[in-house]
């Protein structure tokens, strides 16, 4: 009991806070990262890499690893752009159809005798137009993006079949092959370098600029974003255009790598691209997620498909695996949330 309390005849105060005590600090950056989805993807990547190296003696060859990048770079470039669309609360399922139509137009342009720059620009122009159509359907007409892009997916692919039928374009100009078959240095392919460069740009835009914050705001709460002065419709329209451009860029690389165009090119890629984005930690409902996770997911899926290919696993098994992976990634947060609520309810 203090002297003043004794004189006043009062009991000592017990609610006084101890002096000199430093309040608890939040989690450090390292501890926070170890609990993040990106850390889980890194562990998964290392596990798959180790399993592949043990399963096949050819996996660790540097040229085989270089070839493995072709399994995912084209899809991953589209996934980087699609991540922004999904973060904004929308989705684009027509990306594979855009690739097919852009490739078909490039083949027709090459058959007409135009040089490589014109052929590539024709493909990019088609991609921008496809993205603009998707953006207009969603932001101007107000159609749900999943419905609009399912429709344009069939439209773009159908146009490719209408132009080509059962035929194929194979006469591409000299120099066009570099986009999909060229190497910047030794085993380092042009496609892989381009993917890393686009990933760096996408990461800076999303995580270090007002554009990235605006995209997240549109996906988290579009009404609040509008009241904050953001042009939500304009932002989403531009994101669809950029995604169309990314799909057409992937089309340039894929067509260059294959050296031919058929209307069935990139069939089924939309599922793999969406899986990359969602596996990378981007919420399918929009508003949360990041580029590092998408990049890691691209590496994981690339290693999985390449490893299964080295083991001569049929393509249908790979499709089943990717479908199960997509379901698992979407269902996992829901299961964790329900388990957390259940444990809180039982007081554990």
Place of tokens 């060859």: 61
- Predicted pLDDT at 24: 47
**pTM confidence score:** 0.86
Give yes or no for a contact between 317 and 305, defined as CB atoms under 8 angstroms apart: no
Give yes or no for a contact between 289 and 86, defined as CB atoms under 8 angstroms apart: yes
Q: How far is CA 88 from CA 55, 166, 176, 288, in A?
A: 41, 38, 35, 9
- Predicted pLDDT at 32: 66
Cβ-based burial of 127 (10 A; exposed 0-12, middle 13-18, buried ≥19): buried
Helices 291-310 and 190-208, axial angle in degrees (round to 10): 150
CATH topology of domain 44-330: ABC transporter involved in vitamin B12 uptake, BtuC (1.10.3470)
Domain ranges of the chain: 44-330
Average pLDDT along the chain: 88
One digit per residue, the tens of pLDDT, for the chain of length 348 reads 444 444 444 444 555 554 545 444 555 677 666 677 888 889 989 998 998 888 888 888 888 888 889 889 999 999 999 999 999 999 999 999 999 999 999 999 999 999 999 999 999 999 999 999 999 999 999 999 999 999 999 999 999 999 998 889 999 998 999 999 999 988 899 999 999 999 999 999 999 999 999 999 999 999 999 999 999 999 999 999 999 999 999 999 999 999 999 999 999 899 899 999 999 999 989 888 999 999 999 999 998 888 888 778 777 777 787 788 778 777 777 777 788 788 887 765
Tens digit of each residue's pLDDT (9 = 90 or more) over 268-317: 899 899 999 999 999 989 888 999 999 999 999 998 888 888 778 777 77
Pick left, alpha or beta for residue 25 (phi over 0 → left; psi -120 to 50 → alpha; otherwise beta): beta
Q: What is the largest CA-CA distance in the chain?
A: 105
Which residue(s) pair with 183 in the sheet?
Answer: 189
- Predicted pLDDT at 203: 96
| Tokens found for residue 307 | 């490893």
- Predicted pLDDT at 28: 61
């Amino acid at each position: 009991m203090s002297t003043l309390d004794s004189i006043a005849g009062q009991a000592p105060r017990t609610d006084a806070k101890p002096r000199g005590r430093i309040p608890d600090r939040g989690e450090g950056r390292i501890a926070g990262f170890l609990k993040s989805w990106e850390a889980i993807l890194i562990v998964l990547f290392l596990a798959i890499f180790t399993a592949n190296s043990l399963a096949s003696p050819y996996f660790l060859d540097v040229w085989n690893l270089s070839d493995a990048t072709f399994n995912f770079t084209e899809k991953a470039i589209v996934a980087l752009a699609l991540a922004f669309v999904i973060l904004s609360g929308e989705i684009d399922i027509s990306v594979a159809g855009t690739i097919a139509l852009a490739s078909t137009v490039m083949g027709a342009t090459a058959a007409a005798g135009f040089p490589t720059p014109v052929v590539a620009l024709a493909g990019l122009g088609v991609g921008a137009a496809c993205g603009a159509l998707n953006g207009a359907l969603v932001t101007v007409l107000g159609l749900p993006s999943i419905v609009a892009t399912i429709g344009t997916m069939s439209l773009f692919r159908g146009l490719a079949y209408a132009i080509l039928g059962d035929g194929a374009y194979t006469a591409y100009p000299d120099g066009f092959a570099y986009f999909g078959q060229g190497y910047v240095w030794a085993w380092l392919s042009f496609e892989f370098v381009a993917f890393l460069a686009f990933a760096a740009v996408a990461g800076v835009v999303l995580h270090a600029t007002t554009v990235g914050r605006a995209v997240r705001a549109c996906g988290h709460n579009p009404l609040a974003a509008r009241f904050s002065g953001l042009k939500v419709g304009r932002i989403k329209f531009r994101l669809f255009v950029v995604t169309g451009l990314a799909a057409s860029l992937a089309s340039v690389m894929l067509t260059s790598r294959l050296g031919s165009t058929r209307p069935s090119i990139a069939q089924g890629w939309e599922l793999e691209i969406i899986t990359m984005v969602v596996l990378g930690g981007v919420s399918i409902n929009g508003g949360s997620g990041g580029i590092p996770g998408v990049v890691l997911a691209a590496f994981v899926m690339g290693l999985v498909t390449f490893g299964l290919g080295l083991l001569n696993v049929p393509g249908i098994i790979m499709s089943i695996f990717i479908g199960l992976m997509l379901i698992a990634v979407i269902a996992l947060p829901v299961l964790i949330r329900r388990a957390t609520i259940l444990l809180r309810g039982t007081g554990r």
